[in-house]
């Protein structure tokens, strides 16, 4: 017997929604840590916040649009109608996510990079994650609409 048969299976649209929730959670967490870590000193706060958001939008535009598009395409084209709940990512993405979390925690706990700089990095990374979550949500709704038409 395979372990997969004992795990909950969900529809493809549910995988899109799960992906949106995971990406939104990560994006919101990083953005809130980033904003909280920027010293509240008037124009410096706004400069770092706006700069981080602008860099995050560029990062989304040049990298995360392709990443999220690949995941959305893969989910929509899965063979079976119901998949294990964790199938919103492929193995490579889980490895990348674990590596990035480990790197972030290591940099924060060791103090190799001062929080002043880490906070801007958190804003830069949180922004494309949140935008990607919004993209997953829009595809969730359009995919459900398509499924009900069929």
Tens digits of residue pLDDT in 125-140: 999 999 999 999 999 9
DSSP code per residue over 32-63: HHHHHHS---THHHHHHHHHHHHHHHHHIIII
pTM of the model: 0.87
pLDDT band with cut points at 50, 70 and 90 for residue 4 = low
Average pLDDT on 6-22 reads: 90
Q: What is the DSSP letter of 114?
A: -
Residue extents of the structural domains in the chain: 11-79+87-149
Q: What's the pLDDT at 54? A: 96
Q: What's the pLDDT at 3? A: 59
């Amino acid at each position: 017997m395979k372990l997969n048969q004992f795990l909950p299976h969900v529809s493809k649209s549910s995988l899109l929604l799960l992906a949106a929730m995971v990406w939104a959670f990560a994006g919101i967490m990083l953005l809130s840590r980033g904003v909280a870590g920027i010293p509240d000193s008037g124009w410096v706060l706004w400069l770092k916040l706006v700069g981080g958001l602008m860099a995050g939008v560029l990062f989304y535009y040049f990298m995360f649009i392709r990443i999220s598009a690949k995941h959305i395409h893969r989910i929509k084209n899965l063979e079976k109608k119901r998949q294990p709940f964790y199938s919103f990512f492929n193995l490579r993405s889980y490895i990348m996510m674990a590596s990035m979390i480990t790197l972030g925690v290591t940099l924060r706990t060791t103090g190799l990079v001062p929080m002043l700089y880490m906070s801007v990095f958190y804003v830069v990374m949180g922004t494309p994650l949140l935008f990607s979550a919004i993209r997953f949500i829009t595809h969730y709704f359009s995919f459900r609409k398509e499924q009900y038409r069929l």
